[in-house]
């Protein structure tokens, strides 16, 4: 079904939202939904919804709408869910610990293999049965274990050197919480969560300058 | 200087990034920079940089470029920095605690006034000298204290009711970490950090479907 053609990042960023709303509909035992009804819930126009979903296949049916469960399953597949992602977290500070503790990520297929930190007080402790290891062992750990995803929760100044170790060891996905733009080759996918930038967007809006 | 005209969200979302790069340049004692040099660092085109900054004033000078410190100060003002934002966090779970512990937000002007939770085991504890209060007292607390920003770190199912209490008590900024789209009137600004959606964007890209 899937067309796999060049899809814009804007469309891609909307997919998880479709996924979330469809999950909600399934919970509420809704079997089918028109693009118009979906539009009222999700806040995109019906035409945008049809366009977005058409990037990946012909999911809707004129006069019927979308089968909620089928569409949910298709979008799950498109998003790469159903796979297992071996994951390490680097940096066991506030954010690193929060991510490690977030059990929802397990359900999405993320298996936390190890956590790394420099702080001797943290090394050896466990978060949800996963040990915090010495960051000096990261390189060797990655050589011994096939890891898909690295979550960078270290300081700004250390983030690129950690990123380089991940890249050298063939980690292809990086979820970056450090307030810095990382340099990575094309085949390594970096997704940033820049919390301060999100917060500053809010202060801008609060100051009524829009 | 500031033009305060209708500026697109895309431009607004780039402002904190300019702010971050200019701060970096100041740390490295760079006094002035051309849009071309800034472009090489920040990754936007020189023309985009000029366009973005022109939305707010005439900051650059032909043949000279931008004065780094002046531009930094102007952007800080535009972003609403230098003000104090009285803040409450609702939900003292993983993310709530991480945000409460993040001292960088102090520096940006966010004063944490209180944290709220339902869990009796957490109520009465302190995070960086700020007490965790019973969520049942949120409404009264907001009546007694002028709060600018509410950080919602509760579960999906409770987020809207918390949001409603904040709105009723004139809180104008909401930083939402719950995986749900909140309903709020026009004059209340909601900024979402949807971590699962960020992660699913990454799994999509990892699966090479772009």
**Do residues A32 and A64 make contact, with C-beta atoms less than 8 angstroms apart?**
yes
Q: How far apart are CA B27 and CA B11, in angstroms?
A: 25
Phi, psi angles (nearest 5°) of residue A93: -80, -155
pLDDT tens by residue, A55-79: 888 887 778 889 999 999 999 999 9
pLDDT of residue B149: 97
Highest mean pLDDT among A73-77, A206-210, B104-108: A73-77
- For residues B107 and B68, membership in a common domain is answered with no
The number of beta carbons lying within 10 Å of the beta carbon of residue A177 is: 25
- For residues A62 and A153, membership in a common domain is answered with no
Average pLDDT, chain B: 92
- For residues B42 and B126, membership in a common domain is answered with no
Beta bridge partners of B134: B117
Q: How far apart are CA B210 and CA B199, in angstroms?
A: 16
Q: Quick check: is B209 in a domain?
A: no
Side-chain-side CA neighbours of A99 within 13 Å: the count stands at 31
Q: Quick check: is B205 in a domain?
A: no
pLDDT of residue B5: 60
Helix axes B68-78, B9-27, angle to 10 degrees: 140
The secondary structure element, H or E, covering residue B111 is: strand B110-117
The secondary structure element, H or E, covering residue A161 is: helix A156-168
Q: Quick check: is A205 in a domain?
A: no
Which residues of chain B have a CB within 8 Å of the CB of A27?
Answer: none
Which residues of chain B have a CB within 8 Å of the CB of A122?
Answer: none
Residues 123-152 of A with CB under 8 A from B: 148-149
Q: How far apart are CA A207 and CA A205, in angstroms?
A: 5
- For residues B184 and B104, membership in a common domain is answered with yes
Of A17, A193, A203, the CB nearest to B195: A193
**Do residues B59 and B53 make contact, with C-beta atoms less than 8 angstroms apart?**
yes
- For residues B34 and B105, membership in a common domain is answered with no
Q: Quick check: is B203 in a domain?
A: no
pLDDT tens by residue, A82-103: 899 999 999 999 999 999 998 8
Mean pLDDT on B112-136: 96
Residue A210 has pLDDT above 60, yes or no: no
- For residues B17 and B72, membership in a common domain is answered with yes
Answer yes or no: do A193 and B198 touch at CB < 8 A: yes
- For residues A68 and A132, membership in a common domain is answered with no
pLDDT tens by residue, A143-181: 999 999 999 999 999 999 999 999 999 999 999 999 999
Of A79, A181, A198, the CB nearest to B204: A79
- For residues B95 and B192, membership in a common domain is answered with yes
Q: Quick check: is A203 in a domain?
A: no
Q: How far apart are CA A91 and CA A132, in angstroms?
A: 9
Q: Which one of A19, A45, A78 terminates a domain?
A: A78
pLDDT of residue A4: 53
B12's tokens: 């607004």
Q: Does B199 touch chain A (CB under 8 A)?
A: yes
- For residues A69 and A90, membership in a common domain is answered with no
Answer yes or no: do B197 and A20 touch at CB < 8 A: yes
Least confident of A125-134, B1-10, B184-193: B1-10
- For residues B123 and B68, membership in a common domain is answered with no
The total domain count for chain B is 2
Q: Range of A139's domain?
A: 85-198
- For residues B179 and B99, membership in a common domain is answered with yes
Answer yes or no: do A207 and B85 touch at CB < 8 A: no
User: Does ipTM come in above 0.85?
Assistant: yes
Q: Which one of A78, A97, A116 terminates a domain?
A: A78
- For residues A72 and A92, membership in a common domain is answered with no
pLDDT tens by residue, A17-47: 999 999 999 999 999 999 999 999 999 999 9
């Amino acid at each position: 079904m899937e067309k796999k053609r060049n899809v814009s990042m804007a469309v891609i960023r909307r997919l998880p939202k479709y996924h979330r709303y469809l999950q909600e509909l399934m919970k509420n035992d809704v079997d089918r939904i028109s693009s118009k009804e979906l539009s009222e819930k999700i806040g995109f126009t019906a035409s945008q919804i049809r366009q977005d979903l058409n990037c990946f296949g012909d999911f809707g049916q004129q006069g019927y709408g979308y089968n909620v469960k089928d569409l949910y399953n298709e979008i799950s597949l498109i998003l790469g869910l159903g796979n297992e992602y071996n994951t390490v977290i680097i940096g066991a500070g506030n954010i690193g610990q929060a991510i490690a503790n977030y059990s929802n990520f397990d359900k999405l297929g993320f298996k936390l293999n190890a956590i790394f930190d420099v702080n001797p007080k943290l090394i050896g402790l466990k978060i949800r049965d996963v040990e915090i290891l010495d960051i000096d062992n990261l390189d060797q750990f990655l050589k011994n274990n096939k890891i898909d995803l690295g979550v960078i929760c270290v300081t700004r100044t250390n983030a690129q050197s950690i990123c380089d170790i991940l890249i050298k060891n063939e980690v292809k996905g990086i979820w970056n919480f450090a307030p810095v733009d990382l340099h990575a080759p094309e085949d390594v996918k970096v997704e940033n969560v820049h919390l301060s930038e999100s917060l500053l967007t809010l202060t801008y809006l609060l100051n009524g300058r829009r």
